[in-house]
Each structure stands twice: as C-alpha cells, then as structure tokens.
C-alpha cells in the first residue's frame, strides 16, 4: 500500500487564552492543509529559551484545547532543550519555552518532538486491518524503513506526517510517495 | 553483528594550497578521531553562500589531495545549496561555496552530503563476506532500518558514519550501538 508524506516544519498550536495574549485577535487563514478543518495561519511566533531563539514559527489553526510547540531534534539542540517524542496532546514532561507574539509573550510547557504518524480514519484503519504501528519503506538515494505510529480519527486525510529531521535524513519532500510494508 | 555509530557534524577537509590561503600554517591537533591517523583540528572556517553563512565549522586533518565540505541537508537548505550525496573524494557536480579562514578566503567546489558509510578494513570486509551495501537496524524511540554503504580501506576503525540529519531523525548519539541485519 502506498501513501504520501507531509513534512511538518516546526510549528505551534495555541489554546484560546494564549492566542489572546500573543495576538489579541483570531487566527487568520493563510492556506488550508490536508487534514480536514486545519490550516496554516498567517500568524507567526518566536520560540525563545535561555540558550537561543527561533523566529517566524508558524501557528496552525484552529485553536485547540492546549498549546503545543512541535520542533525537531535539530531545533532542540539549538534551543538547548530535550523534548520527549510524543503524539499530539500528550504533553506530560514536555519542555517549557517562551512564545513571543506581537502583542505579548507567555512561558508555557507543551514543547515536544512529534512522533512519526499516519493519519487515517477509524473506518479505514479497520478496513485495512492496520495495526497501531506500521513500517514504511522510503526509496531514493538514502533509502530505509521507518516505524510510524497509526493515528486514527473520525476525519483524516490519509498521509504520513514526518518532521524535517526525518525528511532531511531521507531527502524526502512534501508529497513524496512511500510504501507501507510488512517486516 | 553490532557496531557503533560516529556522528559527523558539518566539517571540512583541505588540500595544502587551500590550507595555506585560509590559515597560512599547518593544522594543529585538537583531538584524534577514531579513524586511524585522522584528527579534529583546532582550525575553524566559515562556509558562505549567497544566501547564508555557517561559522565555526571544524577542519579535519590531515590535509588531503582535495578540499571537501561535508554538510547535512538541513545545512544545505539554510545555505541555499543542493549538494549531491557522495562518498568522500567523489566531487563531480559538487556544490560551490566560499570558505573563509583567518588569513584569507577561497571559492571552491567540493560541497557534498556524505553518504551513510561503514568503515571497515579490506581484510574484515572479506572475512565477514560484507556486501557493498548493508542494512542497519536502529532501535530506540524512533526506530528503523537504514541502507549504509560499505567503505573498505587498508586501515579502518569499524564504525558507521552518519550525519546529523540521520542522527537527529533517529535520536542517535555518538557511540550508540546499532545492528547490521539481513533484509
């Protein structure tokens, strides 16, 4: 079975009260992304730690019930952080960073490295007898096989989300095709 | 069969005439590295392109017959380059960068992304019936299997060299153990 990859650069999800402090206005849509209802916002923040800062980090909308900062391991070294690898919303022992927006700043936990995950509907997961972890073959000049978590939801666009470290290690670009294999 | 990994951060090898221009002196040893006769020098250069620059890039010694700049894909995006993935010394169609040292600067080709490779002696390669490409299983929180080129030489310290993109994608550190597997 084949699927495509979506490469997630570092980004931030915000809860309403944090959005209010950082921007004092609603998120505005820059462009829709593949996952139903979600969008890249025009709004950008700076992630700051004692060691360094990274600016122009995009906010993804809509607002969520929690604020979450997703960075790569490469970013983590730069920022002097050691965030856990987690699925969205699992923020126990996540790292603390300062987020700076045009209207204010907050110090918040919620900084993680997102796990590699496949988006799929509950319906399709059952239909294809998909386990909770799959193996995905990546071709090209630096090939390999990676373990990917299966993340089912009511609505989903069928694609694998990888961060920029995985993408750069395998020379993958947004929309590239990979293959789900048996190991 | 198990082995360890050595993580190569971006670095530069210099030929004598380029060393003369950049530093006007011989390389000095900061510390030996695992591969016989090789060392990390105290000398640092800046890699510069039209788009960006990266400073404090370490020179590895001793001098070679060619100047070679090894960067990651992450570095390549920052610098606006598209270097080929290559084994050391294969510099056809490599990218051109400017190197800046304390005594001068040069514009040179030789910028590549190093391939994933296993260092092994010719003798051991034969002894272990090692093919030219192997598959290496990486454990941990973000596991997978990567294809690695086998690079035999007269003298070698048996270890796999990966760049920082591979290391960060798999959360690998210098000296971590991995396993050579059959696929």
Q: What is the pLDDT of residues B37-51, one digit of tens each?
A: 999 999 999 999 999
Amino acid B24: pLDDT: 98
**A19 and A76 inside one domain:** yes
What is the average pLDDT value for chain A, to the nearest integer?
97
A171 touches B: beta carbon within 8 Å: yes
Could you tell me if residue A5 is inside a domain? Answer: no
Phi first, then psi, for residue A118 (nearest 5°) are -100, 125
**B87 and B125 inside one domain:** no
Residues contacting residue B126 through CB under 8 Å, at least 6 positions apart: none
Could you tell me if residue B28 is inside a domain? Answer: yes
**B108 and B27 inside one domain:** yes
**B94 and B177 inside one domain:** no
**B84 and B20 inside one domain:** yes
Based on the structure, what is the number of domains in chain A?
Answer: 2
* Assigned token pair, A54: 């990274």
B173 touches A: beta carbon within 8 Å: no
B104 touches A: beta carbon within 8 Å: no
* Residue B183 pLDDT level (bands cut at 50, 70, 90): confident
**Would you say the C-alpha torsion A11, A17, A22, A24 has a positive or negative sign?**
positive
**B52 and B110 inside one domain:** yes
Minimum distance, in Å, between the CA of residue B24 and any CA atom of chain A: 32
A147 touches B: beta carbon within 8 Å: yes
Measure CB to CB from residue B144 to each of A77, A145, A168 and give the nearest one: A145
Could you tell me if residue A1 is inside a domain? Answer: no
B75 touches A: beta carbon within 8 Å: no
- Of B114, B136, B158, which closes a domain? B114
**A91 and A102 inside one domain:** yes
Per-residue pLDDT reduced to its tens digit, B108-147: 999 999 999 999 999 999 999 999 999 999 999 999 999 9
- Of B69, B99, B114, which closes a domain? B114
- Of A114, A146, A162, which closes a domain? A114
**B103 and B163 inside one domain:** no
Per-residue pLDDT reduced to its tens digit, A34-67: 999 999 999 999 999 999 999 999 999 999 999 9
Amino acid A183: pLDDT: 81
Scanning every residue of chain A, which has its alpha carbon at the shortest distance from the alpha carbon of B9?
Answer: A74
Could you tell me if residue A177 is inside a domain? Answer: yes
- Which residues 32-51 of B have a C-beta within 8 angstroms of A? none
**A162 and A104 inside one domain:** no
- Long-range contacts from B22-29, C-beta under 8 angstroms, 24+ separation: B22/B99, B22/B100, B22/B101, B22/B102, B22/B103, B22/B104, B22/B105, B22/B106, B23/B101, B23/B102, B23/B103, B24/B103, B24/B104, B27/B59, B27/B61, B27/B62, B27/B63, B29/B61
Q: Which residue has the tokens 């530093």?
A: B23
- Residue B54, domain extent: 10-114
- Check whether B98 has a pLDDT greater than 90: yes
Residues with pLDDT less than 50, chain A: none
Could you tell me if residue B167 is inside a domain? Answer: yes
**A102 and A123 inside one domain:** no
Indicate the helix (H) or strand (E) that contains B77. helix B73-79
Instruction: Give me the total of CB pairs closer than 8 Å, taking one residue from chain A and one from chain B.
Output: 57
Amino acid A69: pLDDT: 98
ipTM > 0.85 for the complex: yes
Cβ–Cβ under 8 Å, residues B21 and B31: no
* Residue B21 pLDDT level (bands cut at 50, 70, 90): very high
**B72 and B92 inside one domain:** yes
**B14 and B94 inside one domain:** yes
A166 touches B: beta carbon within 8 Å: yes
B115 touches A: beta carbon within 8 Å: yes
Which positions in chain A touch B115 (Cβ < 8 Å)? 142
Cβ–Cβ under 8 Å, residues B4 and B175: yes
Alpha-carbon distance of B85 to B149, in angstroms, equals 12
- Report yes or no on whether pTM surpasses 0.80: yes
Could you tell me if residue A2 is inside a domain? Answer: no
Q: Rounded to 5, what percent of chain A is helix, strand, coil?
A: 15, 50, 35
Could you tell me if residue B4 is inside a domain? Answer: no
Could you tell me if residue B157 is inside a domain? Answer: yes
Scanning every residue of chain B, which has its alpha carbon at the shortest distance from the alpha carbon of A117?
Answer: B142
Minimum distance, in Å, between the CA of residue A169 and any CA atom of chain B: 5
């Amino acid at each position: 079975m084949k699927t495509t990859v979506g490469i997630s650069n570092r980004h931030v999800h915000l809860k309403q009260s944090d959005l209010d402090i950082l921007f004092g206005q609603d998120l505005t849509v820059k462009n829709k992304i593949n996952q139903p209802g979600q969008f890249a916002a025009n709004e950008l923040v700076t992630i700051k730690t004692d060691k360094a800062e990274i600016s122009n980090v995009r906010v993804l909308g809509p607002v969520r019930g929690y604020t979450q900062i997703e960075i790569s391991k490469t970013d983590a070294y730069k920022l002097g952080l050691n965030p856990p690898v987690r699925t969205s919303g699992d923020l126990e022992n996540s790292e603390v960073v300062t987020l700076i927006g045009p209207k204010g700043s907050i110090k918040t936990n919620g900084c993680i490295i997102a796990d590699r995950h496949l988006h799929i509907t509950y319906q399709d997961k059952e239909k294809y007898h998909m386990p909770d972890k799959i193996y995905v073959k990546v071709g090209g000049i630096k090939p390999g096989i990676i373990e990917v978590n299966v993340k089912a939801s009511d609505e989903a666009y069928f694609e694998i989300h990888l961060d920029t470290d995985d993408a750069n290690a395998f020379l993958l670009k947004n929309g590239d095709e990979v293959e789900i294999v048996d190991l």
